[in-house]
Amino acid sequence: MTKESKKRRLEEPDDADKTPTGSPAAALLTPQEESNGNDGYFIPFDQIDKPLPEERELVPSDRPELGDLQYIRPEDKKHFSILFDSNKTNSQLSNSEARELRLAKLIIKVKNGSPSARKTAMRQLTDNARTFGPDSLFSLLLPLLTEPTVSEQERHLLVKLIGRILYKLDDLVRPYTHKILAVLQPLLLDNDQITRIEAREIVSTLSKAAGLPHMISTLRPDIDNDDPQVRDATAKTLAIVATSLGLDNVLPFIDAVCHSKRKWEARFTGLKTVREITVLVGVGILPYLSALVECAAFSMQDERTRLKVLAVDVLSSLAETASPYGIESFEPVLKPLWLGIRKHSGRPLTSFIRCVGNIVPLMDPEDADYYTKRVMNIVVREFSSPDEQMKLVVLKVLRQCVAAQGIENQYILSEILPPFFREFWTRRMALDARNRYAVIETTEALAQRVGVSAVIEHLVAALKNESEPFRRMAVQAMDKIITNQGGAEIPVRIDSLLIDGLLYAFQQQTIDDNVILNGFGTVATTLGTRMSPFVDEISSIILWRLDNASLTVRIQAADLIARLAAVIRECERFDILSKMGTVLYEQLGEEYPEILGSVINSLNSILLAVGIEEMAPPVSDLVPRITPILRNRHEKVQENSIKLIGNVANDGPESISAREWMRICFELLEMLKAPQRAIRRAANDTFGYIAQAIGPQDVLVALMNNLRVQERQLRICSAVAIGIVAETCAPFTVLPALMNEYRVPEIHVQNGVLKALSFMFEYIGDLSKDYVYAIAPLLEDALLNRDKVHRQTAATATKHLALGCIGLGCEDVMLHLLNLLIPNVFESSPHVIERILEGIDGVRACLGPGIIMDYTLAGLFHPARKVRTPYWSIYNSMYVQSADAMVPYYPEIEEISRPELLAFI
């Protein structure tokens, strides 16, 4: 079928004789296509009922009053019929009709309008909410929200509008509370988190507007509804009402619902309400914990298992939220919980075990010892449970009980570790990510309690398992345990087994990530000199794999060198490092950038391990080979190349000629355009090392030429590099050139110089005092410039200059700069205002708040709001940071006496 025939087919009217029967997708196919088993394009089933882009119509050109709309949907004509069907002019409309017409125009602009029109319409609707009246507003807004074709953005806008209207209408919304809740409650159960948060905020606003008695009377019929979804939404709504109007006000009603004897559905809703309150309030439940526990405890003896399980789940949530406080509140339920654990099995037992596991951490050591010993027998018994949910709960409870003080290490070693490794360290558990992480965390908790050696001995055997996910889980657990607890306890007798297993896992890996590499590096670093017997074997395997045909294998081998270089250096095997360096040097002609980046990173690790003098190949050969590679645009290659050159420039700059360093500088200038921040940062640091090696003059020339380019990012990075050079080579080597460059009458150059000065003063700190008088005329010129960006950047430079001169006798210059900053507080640009206020704060830190108070008091009570606002911003910032130092400088007022201050003076 051609594109034209498909388009024509979709545009034909849906006549009765042409409408096929069957699935919705069949309606888009011709009978011939059905019979031939059409292999063309099918609209996915999950998209057939969604609004297509073609369903959006353009705004009619003959309706200029709707010109601010972006589009119109077909269903909009049904809800806004007054806009499309009315043939009367504005003069022929009655007052009520004119008001309805205006309301419809504003709401459709909020829904379909352009951003500016939407903002204006929303403000007008909010301000005139009481004029339009709740009846007109909600009769139009609520049906729109229930429309199935409304988009996410439109629903967000309409919910936002309802929230603002509710705030304005206040108690007028009471007759419409039920209708509003009927629309908003489904949003509380939505899959999208943002939608649930928005609906929660609207229900909170509605609760404050309607009041507690009206909200309770509205929700009361739905509390014992037969539909579980309605009860769930009611519980969420009631929890929001409780958190909005105060838990102490709603708690008596919730208690009555949880103790209801008429219908079990009411108690079910009450328990869900308590659980939702726990989620919303968090640790704020502590003052009401006893009452909430009593609400849940009433249903623990219920004959319905479903209700009993929910009550236990609620107690578990309360205990987890209240941790580590509140054990007194749970004492009445400890006996029923213990009896329930012994009596139940399956899904109910899971809830009981989880609840006990959350309550144990609240107990004192003696009680924790008593309950842990008794519950641990059941936990160990459930290790072999086939239920996945039970396994996760048992693992969590095991972590909690092991962390308690009441269980002895010998009991864990003899009774818990063997069944734990037998039941949980299986291939099946390694296949699921959630189970894998739970097992690893529990293994770490056990190692923290009984020692690393006992756990590592069990994990060594898993390193040579046939299942790769199982091997990776073992390496990941080792990495986490040794990283957090150290490996000093690892017995020497298992060193060979451990390294042999790691080498097997390393050679057999097929998944391209760093799990095995990280684990190998962690173990090797922990063993230190104990790695000496295995260095030859490991190096031979690595060198053999560097020549492998597979790209992934070569990358893994190079990355392993980077992780083991420091360990091999600790074992004093310089011959192996030299051999590896020579082999890697020969790999620099690699055509694949991924492996090239790993090779350069390994060379960098070897360089850091052996030093410049012992490096093989020599640095004088290595750096000229790396310089052309800087042009490679792969991020991994760029970053590692710059780090290698930076280390050479920092540790052994004399090994490279000045001409070669300048060639590297010009290559690094291109790196300042890199999109990755790490590359730009490494390039800037390298500029400082090179300037320290060959002097700042030539490097400055290259950097200052970059201040003339149009690209803002390049100018900013060049300014940062100039600041680093100034910090590295002393400011007096850079400042004259910068001040001379400022004389160039080009806006980009001058602005770049100001940025460089700002970074320089930030880096050099209190060394700024030696250059205050020299730089003051330049800052004065910039603060008086017509260009607001100049003034903004100069204010930042002034801030850093002032912060570096605190208490160093430069107050006269700072006062002069303050006089130039103060007039700029009336700027309209928010960026300029922010920088100016920061500059004033920096000067205040140098001058003290007294002088700033003299400037500020004059404008705090000015009749013009635009004058008062910036002065109050200065005052508030000063009050936050220097409130105590402001006291002596407040004006003398007869009504306010300060005898303590006068006595001190």
Q: At what angle do helices 495-508 and 515-527 cross, to 10 degrees?
A: 160
Phi and psi angles of residue 238, each rounded to the nearest 5 degrees, phi first: -65, -35
pLDDT band of 374, cuts 50, 70, 90: confident
Beta-bridged to residue 893, according to DSSP, are 896
Tell me the H-state helices in 804-897: 811-821, 830-847, 849-860, 865-886
Cα(827)–Cα(152) distance, integer angstroms:
38
Q: Are 637 and 674 in contact (CB under 8 A)?
A: no
How many C-beta atoms surround the C-beta of residue 573 within 10 A?
Answer: 18
Written as six digits, the tokens of 606 are 């070897």
Instruction: List every span in the chain annotated with CATH 1.25.40.
Output: 63-85+94-210
CA distances from 195 to 113, 166, 187, 273, 347 (A): 21, 18, 6, 20, 32
Average pLDDT over residues 168-180: 87
Count CB atoms within 10 A of the CB of residue 712: 11
Phi, psi (rounded to 5 degrees) for 211: 95, 155
Determine contact, residues 763/725, Cβ cutoff 8 Å: no
Percent of the chain with pLDDT over 70: 89
Check: CB of residue 691 under 8 Å from CB of residue 725: yes
Residue carrying the six token digits 């053999």 = 544
Confidence grade of residue 690 (pLDDT, cut at 50, 70, 90): confident
Q: Categorize the per-residue pLDDT at 876 as very low, low, confident or very high, splitting at 50, 70 and 90.
A: very high
Q: Which residues pair with 113 in a beta bridge?
A: 69
Sole residue written with tokens 């010892």: 369
At 897 the pLDDT is: 65
Residue 24 burial (C-beta neighbours within 10 Å; 0-12, 13-18, 19+) = exposed
Q: Please check whether residue 737 is in contact with residue 749, taking contact to mean a CB–CB distance below 8 angstroms.
A: no
Mean pLDDT score of the chain, rounded to an integer?
84
Report which residue type is found at 354.
R
pLDDT at 894 over 70: no
Confidence class of residue 235 from pLDDT cuts 50, 70 and 90? very high
More confident residue, 446 or 99: 446
- Ramachandran angles phi, psi of 385, nearest 5°: -65, 135
Residue 13's pLDDT band, with cuts at 50, 70 and 90, is very low
- Please state the rounded mean pLDDT for residues 112-134: 85
pLDDT score recorded for residue 502: 93
Instruction: Enumerate the β-bridge partners of residue 57.
Output: 72
What per-residue confidence (pLDDT) applies to 30? 37
pLDDT tops 60 at residue 588: yes
d(CA 584, CA 617) in angstroms, rounded, equals 9
Token pair for residue 357? Answer: 């596991």
- Point out the least confidently predicted range of 97-101, 197-201, 271-275, 821-825: 97-101
DSSP symbols for 376-394: HHHHHHGGG---HHHHHHH
Residue 274: its pLDDT value, please?
Answer: 94
Is pLDDT above 60 for 87? no
For residue 380 the two structure tokens come to 């160990």
Of the candidates 49, 52, 32, 48, the one whose C-alpha atom is nearest the C-alpha of residue 40 is: 32
Identify whether the C-beta of residue 127 lies closer than 8 Å to the C-beta of residue 169. Answer: no
Return the CA Rg of the chain: 37
Helix ranges (DSSP H) in 263-326: 264-281, 289-297, 305-322
Residue 81: the pLDDT is 72
Angle CA 877–879–884, to nearest 5: 145
Encoded tokens for 742? 């400022």
C-alpha 492/C-alpha 451 separation (Å) is 15
* pLDDT of amino acid 5: 45
Query: What b/e sequence results for 309-343 when a residue is b if at least 16 CB atoms lie within 10 Å of its CB, and e otherwise?
Result: bbbbbbbbbbbbbbeeebbebbeebeebbeebbee
Report pLDDT for 479: 93
Q: Kindly report, residue by residue over 621-642, the tens digit of the pLDDT.
A: 898 899 889 888 899 999 999 9
Q: How far apart are CA 860 and CA 867, in angstroms?
A: 8
Q: Are 361 and 320 in contact (CB under 8 A)?
A: no
Q: Is the pLDDT of residue 561 over 80?
A: yes
Task: Tell me which of 646 and 904 has the higher pLDDT.
Answer: 646
**Percent of the chain topping pLDDT 90:** 31
Contacts of 323 (CB under 8 A, 6+ apart): 358, 361, 362
Contact between 264 and 304 under an 8 Å Cβ cutoff? The reply is: yes
Token pair in block for residue 501: 């297993």
- Write out pLDDT tens, residues 201-210: 989 989 988 8
Segment 833-839 shows an average pLDDT of 92
Q: Are 570 and 608 in contact (CB under 8 A)?
A: no
Which CATH number applies to 63-85+94-210: 1.10.3470, 2.60.40, 1.25.40, 1.10.10?
1.25.40
Which is it for the CA torsion 827, 828, 829, 830, positive or negative? positive
Q: Residue 66: which pLDDT band, with cuts at 50, 70 and 90? A: low
Write down the residue that tokens 């449970």 correspond to.
385
The whole-number pLDDT of residue 34 equals 38
Contacts of 509 (CB under 8 A, 6+ apart): 468, 471, 472, 516, 556
Q: Is 765 left (phi over 0), alpha (psi -120 to 50) or beta?
A: left
pLDDT of residue 23: 35
Residue 163 near residue 205 (C-beta atoms within 8 A):
yes
Q: How far apart are the first and last CA of the chain?
A: 97
**Where does the pLDDT of residue 15 fall: very low under 50, low under 70, confident under 90, or very high at 90 and above?**
very low
Query: Which residues make Cβ contacts (< 8 Å) with residue 638, sequence separation at least 6?
Result: 630, 632, 671, 674, 676, 679
CA pair distance 370, 416, nearest whole angstrom:
17
Mean pLDDT over 83-105 rounds to: 71
Answer yes or no: are the C-beta atoms of 769 and 802 closer than 8 Å.
Answer: no
Reply yes or no on whether the pLDDT at 706 is more than 90: no
Can you list the pairs that 714-718 forms with residues at least 24 positions away whose Cβ atoms lie under 8 Å?
A: 714/672, 714/673, 715/748, 715/751, 715/752, 715/755, 716/755, 717/672, 717/680, 717/683, 717/684, 718/669, 718/672, 718/752, 718/756
Classified as helix, coil or strand, 94 is coil
| pLDDT band, residue 53 (cuts 50/70/90) | very low
pLDDT beyond 50 at 12: no
- 720, 684 in Cβ contact below 8 A? yes
Q: State how far the Cα of 833 lies from the Cα of 813, in Å rounded to an integer.
A: 22
Please tell me the predicted confidence (pLDDT) of residue 530: 92
User: What per-residue confidence (pLDDT) applies to 905?
Assistant: 54
- CA 363/CA 243 separation, integer angstroms: 28
Give the confidence band of 557 by pLDDT, cuts at 50, 70, 90. very high
* pLDDT at res. 84: 67
User: For residue 538, what are its two tokens?
Assistant: 């490991």
CA angle 42, 46, 48 (to 5 degrees): 60
- Determine the length of the chain: 905
**Cross-strand pairs, 896:** 893
Tokens coding 497: 């087994």
Gap between the Cα atoms of 635 and 676, Å rounded: 7
- Name the phi and psi angles at 262, rounded to 5: -80, -50
**pLDDT tops 90 at residue 580:** yes
For the segment 880-902, the average pLDDT, to the nearest whole number, is: 74
pLDDT at 751: 87
473-495 pLDDT tens trace: 999 999 999 999 888 888 888 98
pLDDT in tens, 423-461: 999 999 999 889 999 999 999 999 998 889 989 988 998
Per-residue model confidence (pLDDT) at position 904: 54
